[in-house]
Structure 1
């Protein structure tokens, strides 16, 4: 079993574990080096992106051509609006949501997507990809089969020698739930990068196991450390401080990823990421 298990985020369905390892490991190596740990531990990628990839068919055109009309009312529209509101808080180029709640879902979604296209993060993403990523989040939370299969990809790689789990974006939710479902695991460090775990209603209150009162379950034993790392401009990580959700043992670190606030690469090259992992490798 790998010493460090990596868990990717949303939008990776056309890649695979080897492709992602080729991207992640050099960046992780840099983060460890910044923390004074030149050796790169044994790593494995828990890949679950294929669970969201449509099956191939004759004359297939690839993934669905999602647009504003495909955003459904309720959870999808609410989460999209939350992304929009947070983007407006951290980016002067994004106008905040209006108070018109009577507009049709497609009109509200189109306004949200238009404004998000002006943000530093979402400007790099097509409307099709933003809606596709939105649907991945809601599918994971609403489809028990997808949820169980994604978590199983993590638990299959976590063994007696696994010391750290490093998870990005939606992968932090998958990793958290997988560790909670594996009592007695030997993981000593959970490192979450650009995590949406603390988003109320859309994420935190839909976790499995469900929060008890105002606190979510601790994903391990007393020896587990949890470091949550977020860029102040990361729109996906709406809640930067996870202590109100999971207790004061969570160590929260704000970093600066430049223009790629949610990208996993600057998160991995950050010294704080390397230090959180290096601390449990001895």
Structure 2
């Protein structure tokens, strides 16, 4: 009965598919209802892989004891610095990389973490969680077995009734790569929320299949692709996907308030609901 599959992003390692679906479904239903459509819970499934990032045999309390020294050079470092620069551009209370005098420690990564602690975008995320999130992105791209296992989890959530995929954050990368690898899948609508897919240097150039001439390949099973981004979403550093993946992508800006990357305001947006309702053949409101 699954007509729509949801796919989450980073930071879900201590949850599960039903827990996450219970959290996401009300927002999803609200967005579809605002657009004049309907979507029953039994028509929705969660593609879940968060447990694959869950620490094994961790003896400490809370999150693993991570600090700035645990940030690896390369993708983790560059990702954290990109988040810092973007947050500083969007929020006046976040000191930028050039505001060294306002930050006590000269250590670059610690400076970035200190600066991000002032960001409304990252409100509620402690230093350890920020480091853990950057590490999950790095692990996806550098650990082939993990990458394959995550993609397999997503593919197992699809059925012959699935018509729509709604993916958030790193989940948009997972969905894109899996769909490119399986052109035999039936026609699907892809809806990406807060996607980093078009971020050159950090994400785009690490995709499989690799971009050609700076352009990404169109995933063959996808007949319609809508990408939604909030202007203040620091993770979706490149707000538009059409310049990279082709004019067939419909890019839409939405306003999520202070929680620009949170999946729930993305899901409650009328624009998201419209894209889903149209894909499912329901009556949609104005776009």
Please state which band the TM-score falls in when normalised by the shorter chain.
over 0.9
Match of 2:284 in 1: none
User: Is 2:127 the counterpart of 1:127?
Assistant: yes
Equivalent pair of 1:159/1:186 in contact (CA under 8 Å): no
Output the TM-score relative to the length of structure 2: 0.92
Query: Secondary structure at the residue paired with 2:229?
Result: strand
**Equivalent residue pairs, number:** 276
Alpha-carbon distance between aligned partners in 1 of 2:205 and 2:31, rounded to the nearest angstrom: 32
CA RMSD of aligned residues (A): 1.8
Equivalent pair of 1:194/1:234 in contact (CA under 8 Å): yes
TM-superposed CA distance for 1:99, in Å, is 9.5
Alpha-carbon distance between aligned partners in 1 of 2:207 and 2:62, rounded to the nearest angstrom: 31
Structure 2 vs 1, CA of residues 39 and 54 (structure 1 numbering), >3 Å: closer, same or farther?
Answer: closer
TM-superposed CA distance for 1:184, in Å, is 2.1
Alpha-carbon distance between aligned partners in 2 of 1:62 and 1:181, rounded to the nearest angstrom: 37
User: Is 2:72 the counterpart of 1:78?
Assistant: no
Task: State the Cα deviation string for residues 41-100 of structure 1 (Å, max 9, x = none).
Answer: 60110100011001135x453542111111112221111111111111111111221399
Output the TM-score relative to the length of structure 1: 0.93
Match of 1:55 in 2: 56
Equivalent pair of 1:54/1:63 in contact (CA under 8 Å): no
Q: What are the ranges of 5 or more consecutive residues in structure 1 without an aligned counterpart?
A: 101-105
Alpha-carbon distance between aligned partners in 2 of 1:203 and 1:166, rounded to the nearest angstrom: 19
Structure 2 vs 1, CA of residues 63 and 187 (structure 1 numbering), >3 Å: closer, same or farther?
Answer: farther
Structure 2 vs 1, CA of residues 99 and 142 (structure 1 numbering), >3 Å: closer, same or farther?
Answer: farther
Equivalent pair of 2:81/2:112 in contact (CA under 8 Å): yes
Find runs of 4+ consecutive structure 1 residues off by over 4 angstroms: none
Equivalent pair of 1:165/1:187 in contact (CA under 8 Å): no
Query: Secondary structure at the residue paired with 1:167?
Result: strand
Alpha-carbon distance between aligned partners in 2 of 1:23 and 1:92, rounded to the nearest angstrom: 32
User: Is 2:249 the counterpart of 1:250?
Assistant: yes
Alpha-carbon distance between aligned partners in 2 of 1:38 and 1:46, rounded to the nearest angstrom: 21
Task: State the Cα deviation string for residues 93-150 of structure 1 (Å, max 9, x = none).
Answer: 11221399xxxxx911000011111111113210000000000000001100110000
Equivalent pair of 1:150/1:174 in contact (CA under 8 Å): yes
Q: What are the ranges of 5 or more consecutive residues in structure 2 without an aligned counterpart?
A: 101-105, 282-287
Alpha-carbon distance between aligned partners in 1 of 2:126 and 2:60, rounded to the nearest angstrom: 20
Match of 1:103 in 2: none
